[in-house]
């Protein structure tokens, strides 16, 4: 427990520094996370006897990151298309040792890990160079929205845990995640909606759409957690990795964020950040 608490405190401090600093520091940290996440995914399926195309996956992840970091989000679709087509071509070129199921697992992995986590960069650099006043001082708009996404993610997990512990009776999805309950889920939705609305209101955004965003974050955060749980059950692993002492790997810690961050980013795209 002591190791878990210490690594958690250090992790929060490091994350705060990286998020607030932005720029190349944030970009480099995100690239490392993406590569580590792909490594964990590949290792999990290797244990299942379905080893993905490791090198090609690394290249695809770097391609997704590059498109996001250099401000070319439209190239994400090109990177996704090329990586999917190449994985299937590998099943032709190396058919004696690389099967179609492996190609499909590889394609799913680079999308799940690389494409989703590339949105960390897209969200953090949203409207780059523009700043706004926040309770924590002047802050880049993308940075403020990134914190809202993180607050929503943490609120969903925290409120769901305490609501489930106090009132949990009915299992939400017992075969995948035995500890999750419907009562915990409802508590998570309510707590996240209020938390996101409060955070948005503190920096001048209207409450109704922020409440809606909070509900949406709670929903997709839960989905992200369940997706990672079903992957671990399928591959027979307990944790995705050991990168974070006491907390597991990148996929263990970022499972919800892998769904929340793209969700918030496209929410902004559709609403143009409320103007």
3-state secondary structure of 140: strand
Q: Are residues 111 and 146 in the same domain?
A: no
Q: Model confidence over 67-88: pLDDT tens digits? A: 999 999 889 999 999 999 999 9
Domain count within the chain: 2
Q: Are residues 169 and 116 in the same domain?
A: no
Q: Residue 190 above 80 pLDDT?
A: yes
Q: What is the structure's pLDDT at 29?
A: 97
pTM: 0.93
Q: Are residues 101 and 135 in the same domain?
A: no
Q: Mean pLDDT over residues 166-188, rounded?
A: 92
Q: Residue 3 above 70 pLDDT?
A: no
Q: Are residues 35 and 145 in the same domain?
A: no
Q: Are residues 83 and 66 in the same domain?
A: yes
Q: What is the structure's pLDDT at 245?
A: 62
Percent of the chain with pLDDT over 70: 93
Q: What is the structure's pLDDT at 24?
A: 97
Q: Model confidence over 206-264: pLDDT tens digits? A: 999 999 999 999 999 999 999 999 999 999 988 776 666 655 789 999 999 999 999 99
Residue 171: strand pairing partners: 181
Q: Are residues 15 and 61 in the same domain?
A: yes
Question: Can you tell me the distance from the alpha carbon of 252 to that of 150, in angstroms, rounded to the nearest whole number?
Answer: 15
Residue 139 — pLDDT band, cuts 50, 70, 90?
Answer: very high
Q: Are residues 233 and 257 in the same domain?
A: yes
Contact between 199 and 148 under an 8 Å Cβ cutoff? The reply is yes
User: Containing domain of residue 214, as a range?
Assistant: 131-275
Q: What is the structure's pLDDT at 41?
A: 96
3-state secondary structure of 167: helix
Last residue of a domain, one of 125, 154, 177: 125
Q: Are residues 36 and 85 in the same domain?
A: yes
Q: Are residues 208 and 79 in the same domain?
A: no
Q: Are residues 266 and 145 in the same domain?
A: yes
């Amino acid at each position: 427990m002591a190791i878990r608490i210490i690594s958690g405190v250090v992790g929060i401090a490091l994350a705060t520094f990286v998020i607030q600093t932005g720029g190349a520091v944030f970009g480099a940290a995100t690239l490392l996370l993406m590569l580590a996440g792909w490594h964990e995914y590949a290792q999990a399926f290797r244990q299942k006897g379905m080893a993905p195309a490791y090198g090609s996956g690394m290249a695809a992840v770097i391609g997704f990151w590059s498109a996001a970091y250099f401000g070319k989000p439209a190239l994400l679709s090109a990177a996704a298309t090329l990586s999917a087509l190449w994985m299937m071509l590998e099943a032709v070129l190396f058919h004696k040792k690389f099967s179609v199921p492996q190609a499909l697992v590889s394609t799913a992995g680079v999308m799940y890990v690389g494409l989703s986590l590339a949105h960390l960069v897209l969200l953090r650099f949203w409207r780059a160079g523009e700043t706004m006043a926040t309770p924590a001082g002047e802050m880049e708009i993308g940075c403020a929205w990134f914190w809202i996404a993180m607050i929503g993610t943490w609120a969903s997990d925290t409120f769901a845990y305490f609501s489930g512990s106090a009132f949990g009776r009915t299992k939400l999805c017992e075969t995948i995640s035995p500890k999750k309950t419907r009562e915990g889920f409802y508590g998570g939705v309510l707590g996240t909606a209020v938390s996101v609305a409060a955070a948005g209101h503190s920096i001048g955004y209207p409450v109704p759409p922020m409440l809606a965003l909070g509900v949406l974050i709670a929903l997709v955060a839960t989905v992200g957690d369940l997706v990672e749980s079903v992957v671990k059950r399928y591959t027979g692993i307990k944790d995705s990795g050991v990168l974070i002492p006491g907390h597991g790997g990148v996929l263990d810690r970022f499972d919800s964020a892998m769904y929340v961050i793209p969700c918030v980013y496209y929410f902004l795209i559709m609403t143009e950040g409320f103007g």
